[in-house]
Copies of this chain bind each other. A is one copy, B any other.
Amino acid sequence: MAPRRVGLWLIGACGGVASTTALGLSALARGQTPPTGLVTALPQFAGHDFDAPDAFVVGGHDIRKGNFLTAARELHERSNVFDERTLAACAGDLETWSANLRPGVVYRPDAAITALADRPDTRRAGSAREAIDAIQSDLKAFKAAHRLDQLVVVNAASTEPPFEPTDEQKSLERLLPALERAAPASLPTSGVYAFAALDAGFPYVNMTPSRGATLPALEELARKRGVPHAGQDLKTGETLLKSVLAPMFARRNLRVLSWVGHNILGNRDGLVLNDPDNKSSKVTSKDRLLAELLGYRPQSHVSIEYIESLDDWKTAWDHIHFEGFLGTKMMMQFTWQGCDSLLAAPLVIDLVRLTALAQRRGESGPMPHLACFFKSPIGVSEHDFGKQFALLEAYLANPACKPGRAS
């Protein structure tokens, strides 16, 4: 029997996260790097039927010029990450996979993202339907060309501005006719890609705070087509820390008076987030969980600022003011100096592996056991990282996940 081949389709393929994911898959497959940062490589999860690094074929969409190799090289030079040896060893794979890149499809462009679109063959669709058709055609062609057993679509694009749904997005029945319309937009860009993937039977993973598959009509579509999907907004730094620190304050009955978080970063994601509209999607996603973890709403403030010199090094300063016994006010501060793409990329590989596994097990709809990966997990309200992780452990401890049982 031929080994399984799994396609990974990256929306925003020339971004830092996507190119690092491609480089990382190649480096893992070639034994150039240990699997540090991969949850699916933890010793306690050994023995599961996760796809090996060399099982993957990578492709994607982007509205910007470039390819996996040039994007990885740029990240190397600007942010001082990766080493020359790894880049050299993996350059061939990145070039091969770059042949699978297709121009992005713009349907409801926002100013901040459109400013980045420098790929001349970027396609502009007259309706959501037109965009969906173009995207599905790319996905199917990729699957056929590489005789893929499975294909997982991942949204690794920049954050889009908030999209306010109307009744139209509440059911598939109402949404379908609206897709034919030119304006107003019946779906945000992320929704168009999500629709295209799910409708064609391909699982969809949303690493961003964009709407993606979270609209009710799209959740309905996922269940109808029997496809699993996951999201939303990867939890890699400040919010991850909130999800372990806030439960600590809660369990010790220490009253959080205020929680201030300032984030500075200089990559393209930061540039897009500098647009107040796009930023608001992100800040909401970062801020929400505190009240749920604490049981009350302390004053909180989250900022994200684009500081060019930092490139991919996202630096966060959090100041937590809390009250202890007898009214005593105390403080905790932390700074987190993490490289965004390097924190996110291994989680993309994890999510693709876990999603492909779920699809093989016949699961569909949201996957609550993946909550530990996301700032705003779909289908579950748990925000405590420890408890979220226990959901993953429980899921994988279920014998249906073991290799050999799926067949």
A389 at the interface (CB under 8 A from B): yes
Question: Which of B251, B260, B324 is the one whose CB lies under 8 Å from A372?
Answer: B251
A336 at the interface (CB under 8 A from B): yes
**One of A143-151, A159-167, A281-289, A298-306 at the interface:** A298-306
Q: Work out how many copies of this chain go into the complex.
A: 4
Give the nearest-CB partner of A40 in chain B.
Answer: B253
Contact residues of A: prevailing secondary structure = mixed
A47 at the interface (CB under 8 A from B): no
Question: Which of B81, B303, B325, B336 is the one whose CB lies under 8 Å from A262?
Answer: B303
**CB atoms of B244 and A323 under 8 A apart:** no
A80 at the interface (CB under 8 A from B): yes
Question: Which of B37, B307, B387 is the one whose CB lies under 8 Å from A258?
Answer: B307
**CB atoms of B260 and A327 under 8 A apart:** no
Taking A325-B36, A325-B38 as contacts, is the C-beta distance between A385 and B251 under 8 angstroms? yes
**CB atoms of A309 and B299 under 8 A apart:** yes
Question: Which of B327, B343, B386 is the one whose CB lies under 8 Å from A33?
Answer: B327
Question: Which of B80, B301, B323, B337 is the one whose CB lies under 8 Å from A305?
Answer: B301
A389 to B21, CA, bound (A): 36
Q: Nearest Cβ in chain B — how far from A197, in angstroms?
A: 25
**Can you list, as one digit per residue, whether each of A274-316 has a CB less than 8 Å from chain B (1) or not (0)?**
0000000000000000000001000101010101111000010
A209 to B345, CA, bound (A): 42
Considering only residues 357-395 of chain A, those with a C-beta below 8 Å from chain B are 372, 384-387, 389
**CB atoms of B321 and A253 under 8 A apart:** no
Chain B residues with CB under 8 A of A334: 332-335
| A interface residues, tally (CB under 8 Å) | 76
Taking A39-B253, A42-B251, A254-B36 as contacts, is the C-beta distance between A307 and B330 under 8 angstroms? no
A339 to B264, CA, bound (A): 22
**CB atoms of A342 and B326 under 8 A apart:** yes
Question: Which of B41, B257, B305, B346 is the one whose CB lies under 8 Å from A309?
Answer: B257
**CB atoms of A258 and B326 under 8 A apart:** no
Give the nearest-CB partner of A309 in chain B.
Answer: B257
**One of A6-14, A82-90, A118-126, A185-193 at the interface:** A82-90
Chain B residues with CB under 8 A of A255: 36
**CB atoms of B260 and A326 under 8 A apart:** no
Chain B residues with CB under 8 A of A262: 260, 262, 303, 317
**Can you list, as one digit per residue, whether each of A121-142 has a CB less than 8 Å from chain B (1) or not (0)?**
0000000000000000000000
A55 at the interface (CB under 8 A from B): no
Chain B residues with CB under 8 A of A226: none
**CB atoms of B346 and A38 under 8 A apart:** no
**CB atoms of B384 and A323 under 8 A apart:** no
A252 at the interface (CB under 8 A from B): yes
**CB atoms of A329 and B264 under 8 A apart:** no
Considering only residues 92-112 of chain A, those with a C-beta below 8 Å from chain B are none
A385 to B252, CA, bound (A): 11
**CB atoms of B317 and A345 under 8 A apart:** no
A386 to B299, CA, bound (A): 25
Taking A326-B20, A332-B337 as contacts, is the C-beta distance between A310 and B342 under 8 angstroms? no
6 extra interchain contacts, Cβ-Cβ under 8 A, other than A77-B83, A299-B308? Answer: A33-B327, A38-B325, A80-B80, A325-B345, A332-B336, A334-B335
Return 8 A-B CB contacts under 8 Å, by A number: A24-B325, A38-B325, A42-B251, A251-B372, A324-B338, A332-B336, A332-B338, A333-B334
